[in-house]
Structure 1
């Protein structure tokens, strides 16, 4: 099957280059080059120019090398990927690279790809203190997984159908309501947009306190820290509370495997099995003793990536066992409000009478990812410690975003939007389930989620998921494969009904089924 043909069910879109350096999403190690994109311009050689294509390419690459944008030791993307990004054939690319090699600007290394040469080979710059590649190897913060880097880049590539994206589609976000919120703020004199106090805007913390009470969580404003999204809360906890070389217990699979906030702080993971009722607690005490775990991380409501809801009995059991061994819990409540059939059981924090649970919340999943507003709820001494770490890193979330979020919650906008969002998510969930029934019945199994964004697709046979990712990308589909959430996984995909439009779902899911069905494709 030709994945670039109309047989895939997805028209092949023009894809301008997003990252000429290290852009391969195949999971191949990136060598000494940093994970961030060096080249983010939508540039291709112009066939209408009197200059030959290979001259345009070599001139472009040379300019970036001589300007220092591409430093010594940086590894270029593989030749096949460069050809795709530049829209040229291999002979044209090889001619351009040959010119650069003849000028001493790049060199090929057996088994090491093509790299920019040392600066003193082509300029008077000194490298006595090493190249940037040396520094990049020494950085203490781990780069994202190559596949995560690829997803982060490809999400902004036009024409791709995003079947795994974990955020609401732009048309599901409350643009008109947020415009009214901002208009209300503009209609009154704004206070000086100065730094907020360490815990965050007092009005927003009071509004969050009232919102949490609707979920059964009693938290005074002094027990709430405003963060720049829930992800920053994870980073602050990793840096401020846990000793290096300690262990966190968590569900396996888990969202936490896909980010490196804890690994960069020298913290290890130990996974616990999940079933249809959530995390299996029977091994919790033994695993805590074996690993000397410092904390348990869990997403009890509409788990990411599986969509499972931990039932009330399991939550009570978890609180009892963790209380008996004195194990703190980090509860991620990002999806708590996104129920579609019935509200989930009370959060773990609502059951906490000993101050052992830290609760993460966010507006990113329901209201606005762009506001970058989240929060941590916990004992006041812990919150003060995390606030101190936050002040050392960014001196507080945006004052304007915090004021807008406070008005959003206090003005009744949030509840109104949630009702509308749930209705639209129900429609998209129903469509995805219908399409899965039609096209995946012989390929996989799945369960209908009661809320959140995700369907955890379990394939009947194992597949090389990195190759599946690349085959899907060539067909115009962007996937979140199961190995992002469990490194050894070869049978799962996280499908999201929150982002792709109904039309995209109707085109994308049959195309994905066709790719999986033909073994030659993966």
Structure 2
């Protein structure tokens, strides 16, 4: 990102004015759009707010910017009085469309992580850089000859990777499938998006867990679906409530994350899984199983997936490398009946003609040559250490202020705050102190819950992060 040159003879405010004028001239901020607030731009550029105020005043003096009460600083249209040409009302377009933006609070968290360097990140549900298999991937790229064609690949995904996944899933998760029943995706969210867009219609009723990561995804609302929530306890959802919800709302699909559920970390017992499958079979409704965490089981014994015990082909199974290896490769998979895979592959081809062959080639060798097996063993040990360090810090520093159940897998801790607190004010104060987390209401829970990732921060950051988290909480009382 651009920064002002403090060694230049040009005043910093003038450098900022020139920089913003350049961005406006090249259409990044078209007429009618709102510029970042003075305070926000000052924080990003690491200058005093008064410097940005002076830069904006310079642009106002030339007529490039105008101030609008209640709307901030807006780019003017210098040609509107002297020309019949008109610039599109980009604000109207941006605020329109069927695909909704992320929740404002989710966007705020991501913006803070993007622009504020050095934050201790308890918010992101991904691994820290030291847990990625960087050297193995680098070695695969350097030492393995790449003979694949570089044209458009099969929209269903690389055949070799799908064949490798058939063996891997059978060996490690007891899931029996065929390569023609697998669609390679760019991750779990693309699989979800394809399901929502291709297999459901606006107005359809679907059920999700409460709380649920699905609740934080506007793609459900963008698809025009009616969303109904199934409350969870320490063992996940109660299957009998699915039957009651179906009778009341005729739900057409169920979305669950039964192993190390996000955000609660719960595992659905085998008896409930069997009963859930029986009910789904009786009602004839599909279950979408989002399974990104099962292989992280800290004891080395992954609980059974719904797909592995599905006798009637009711489960659409979603998996990914993002939580167990690397999110940067953008490799996920969806297992479904071949008719469904053909439908989704056709839609996928319309979107992007299929994934790049290079990350699929890397993923295939990474899994086939046993590197993923070894990495999972390493990952389980490291995640266990981080989980224990987070729990130790919470117990020693925050004491009875916070409570939680101990997750046996996954990347996060679901925490209850045992006092009245405004989570959003707490987050604001924590961010000022260099720590960020996700309030539980983002996932649809009641107030008083937060999700803390122990996978994303480095080990040495966890205890200092909890200290600042606690200090911020005290400031909010």
Task: Give 5+ residue unaligned stretches, structure 1.
Answer: 1-40
How far the C-alpha of 1:175 sits from its partner, in A, is 1.8
How far the C-alpha of 1:80 sits from its partner, in A, is 2.6
Q: Kindly tell me: are residues 47 and 314 of structure 1, through their superposed partners in 2, closer, same or farther at Cα, counting changes over 3 Å?
A: same
Q: In 1, Cα distance between the equivalents of 2:199 and 2:121? A: 36
Q: Which residue of 1 aligns with 2:74?
A: 115
Q: In 2, Cα distance between the equivalents of 1:373 and 1:107? A: 46
Deviations 1:330-387 (A, max 9, x none): 0001111110025243111112222211000111111111111110001110111111
Moved more, 336-345 or 381-390: 336-345
Q: In 2, Cα distance between the equivalents of 1:185 and 1:47? A: 46
Q: In 2, Cα distance between the equivalents of 1:317 and 1:445? A: 31
- The answer to whether the Cα contact below 8 Å between 2:294 and 2:303 also exists between their aligned partners in 1 is no
Q: Which residue of 1 aligns with 2:2?
A: 42
| Among 142, 147, 151, the residue aligned to 1:194 | 151
| Among 35, 39, 42, the residue aligned to 1:80 | 39
Q: Which residue of 2 aligns with 1:505?
A: 462
| Among 178, 197, 220, the residue aligned to 1:220 | 178
Q: Which residue of 2 aligns with 1:162?
A: 121
Relative to the length of structure 2, the TM-score reads 0.94
Equivalent runs, 1:85-484 vs 2, <5 Å:
85-118=44-77, 120-121=79-80, 126-127=85-86, 130-156=88-114, 157-186=116-145, 190-214=147-171, 215-484=173-442
Q: Which has the higher helix share?
A: 2
Relative to the length of structure 1, the TM-score reads 0.86
Q: Kindly tell me: are residues 180 and 459 of structure 1, through their superposed partners in 2, closer, same or farther at Cα, counting changes over 3 Å?
A: same
Moved more, 357-366 or 464-473: 464-473
- The answer to whether the Cα contact below 8 Å between 2:257 and 2:290 also exists between their aligned partners in 1 is yes
- The answer to whether the Cα contact below 8 Å between 1:244 and 1:267 also exists between their aligned partners in 2 is yes
Aligned to 1:296, what secondary structure does the other structure show? strand
The alignment's C-alpha RMSD in Å is 2.0
- The answer to whether the Cα contact below 8 Å between 2:280 and 2:314 also exists between their aligned partners in 1 is no
Deviations 1:224-267 (A, max 9, x none): 11111121111111111110122221111111122222222222
- The answer to whether the Cα contact below 8 Å between 2:155 and 2:355 also exists between their aligned partners in 1 is no
Q: In 2, Cα distance between the equivalents of 1:123 and 1:200? A: 54
Equivalent runs, 1:61-80 vs 2, <5 Å:
61-80=20-39
Q: In 2, Cα distance between the equivalents of 1:68 and 1:414? A: 45
Q: Kindly tell me: are residues 95 and 407 of structure 1, through their superposed partners in 2, closer, same or farther at Cα, counting changes over 3 Å?
A: closer
Q: Which residue of 2 aligns with 1:17?
A: none
Q: In 1, Cα distance between the equivalents of 2:229 and 2:142? A: 47
Q: Kindly tell me: are residues 48 and 194 of structure 1, through their superposed partners in 2, closer, same or farther at Cα, counting changes over 3 Å?
A: closer
Q: In 1, Cα distance between the equivalents of 2:428 and 2:465? A: 15
Q: In 2, Cα distance between the equivalents of 1:337 and 1:124? A: 63
